[in-house]
C-alpha cells in the first residue's frame, strides 16, 4: 500500500515543480513524469510499492498579482528649500523597499524617475541581481527585486497597473506632514479589502511629494506620528505603513 501524499495545494507557479519534488521526496517517492494540463501540473511519483500522482494547482501569484502597489517618487518632489526637483535613486531604497514589498505580498514596486541616467542605473542594479552574478549569490534578493519596475512618471506607472487590472487605479499619497483631509489606517485597511480595485501607494523622496501630487490623489494617508522627531527615512516609513496596512495582528487578552 502506498503512503498518502499531501492533498493538492495552491502553489506559486514559479515554485510549482520544486514543491512537487519536495513533497515526493518527503514521502519516499521518486519523480516519474510530469504532465501539464491547463492550470494544473500532474506530477507522478513512484516507489517500490506503487505510483501516485499529485495534482499541483497553478496559481497566478506573480509579482503583479496583489491589488496594492508601491511607487517611490523621485519627481515631482520638494527639496529642502521647497523647490520642485528630481532626486537621485539610491541603492538602499531599491533593495530595502523591494524586500518590504515582497514580505507583505505587494503586487509591484515602481521606481519613478524622469532622469535617463537614473533609469539606466536602476535597470543595471536590477539586472545584476536578476540575471548576473547576484542572482546566484543571493536568490532571495532576486525574488524581491523581481517586483521592481521603472517608470518615468506617476501616470505611466498608473497606466501600467490600470491595464493589468482593467480598472482605474486609486492613488494614495503619503507624507510626514498633517493633511487637511487624510485617511486613517483602519479605514484604508477596509478599502484594500476590495480586491477588484488596484491601489497605488506613493512615497516621496527628498522632502516629500508635491502638493499637486497629493491633490490629484484619491486619498492622502495620515502621517506616522512619533515623539516629536519627524525625520524618518523613506525606507522606514514604507516598512511601518505596510505593517500597519497589511501586517498580521495577534489579539491577546494579557
Residue 176 has pLDDT above 70, yes or no: yes
Q: Is the dihedral of CA 141, 247, 113, 191 positive or negative?
A: positive
* Helical H segments across 114-184, by residue range: 116-130, 133-137, 139-145, 154-165
Give the pLDDT score at 248: 82
77-92: average pLDDT: 97
Q: What is the pTM of this model?
A: 0.74
Those residues whose C-beta lies under 8 Å from the C-beta of residue 58, and which sit 6 or more positions away, are 11, 13, 16, 39, 40, 41
Locate 211 and state its grid cell. Answer: 502638493
Determine the topology of domain 68-246 in CATH: Alpha/beta knot (3.40.1280)
* Structural contact between residues 54 and 185, judged by C-beta atoms closer than 8 angstroms: no
Q: What is the mean pLDDT of residues 204-228?
A: 96
Place 133 in a pLDDT band, splitting at 50, 70 and 90: confident
pLDDT band for position 57 (50/70/90)?
Answer: very low
pLDDT band at 8 (very low <50, low <70, confident <90, very high): very low
pLDDT band at 253 (very low <50, low <70, confident <90, very high): very low
Q: How confident is the model at residue 216 (pLDDT cuts 50, 70, 90)?
A: very high
Average pLDDT value for the chain: 81
List the domain boundaries for the chain: 10-58, 68-246
Strand partners, 34: 43
The mean pLDDT value for 8-12 works out to 39
Q: Which residues contact 239 (CB under 8 A, 6 or more apart)?
A: 96, 100
Amino acid at each position: 500500500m502506498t503512503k498518502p501524499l499531501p492533498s493538492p495545494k495552491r502553489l506559486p507557479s514559479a515554485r510549482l515543480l520544486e514543491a512537487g519534488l519536495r513533497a515526493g521526496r518527503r514521502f519516499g517517492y521518486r519523480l516519474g513524469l510530469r504532465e501539464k494540463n491547463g492550470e494544473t501540473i500532474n506530477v507522478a511519483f513512484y516507489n517500490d510499492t506503487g505510483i501516485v500522482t499529485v495534482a499541483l494547482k497553478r496559481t497566478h501569484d506573480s509579482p503583479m498579482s496583489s491589488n496594492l502597489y508601491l511607487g517611490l517618487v523621485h519627481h515631482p518632489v520638494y527639496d529642502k528649500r521647497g523647490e520642485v526637483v528630481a532626486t537621485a535613486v539610491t541603492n538602499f531604497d531599491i533593495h530595502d523597499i523591494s524586500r518590504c514589498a515582497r514580505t507583505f505580498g505587494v503586487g509591484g514596486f515602481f521606481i519613478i524617475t524622469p532622469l535617463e541616467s537614473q533609469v539606466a542605473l536602476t535597470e543595471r542594479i536590477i539586472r545584476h541581481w536578476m540575471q548576473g552574478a547576484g542572482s546566484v549569490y543571493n536568490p532571495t534578493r532576486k525574488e524581491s527585486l523581481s517586483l521592481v519596475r521603472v517608470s518615468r512618471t506617476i501616470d505611466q506607472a498608473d497606466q501600467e497597473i490600470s491595464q493589468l487590472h482593467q480598472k482605474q487605479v486609486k492613488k494614495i499619497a503619503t507624507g510626514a506632514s498633517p493633511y487637511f483631509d487624510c485617511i486613517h489606517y483602519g479605514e484604508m485597511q477596509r478599502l484594500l479589502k476590495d480586491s477588484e480595485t488596484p491601489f497605488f501607494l506613493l512615497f516621496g523622496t527628498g522632502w516629500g511629494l508635491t502638493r499637486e501630487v497629493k491633490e490629484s490623489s484619491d486619498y492622502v494617508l495620515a502621517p506616522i506620528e512619533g515623539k516629536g522627531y519627524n525625520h524618518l527615512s523613506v525606507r522606514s516609513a514604507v516598512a511601518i505603513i505596510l505593517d500597519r496596512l497589511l501586517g498580521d495582528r495577534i489579539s491577546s487578552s494579557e
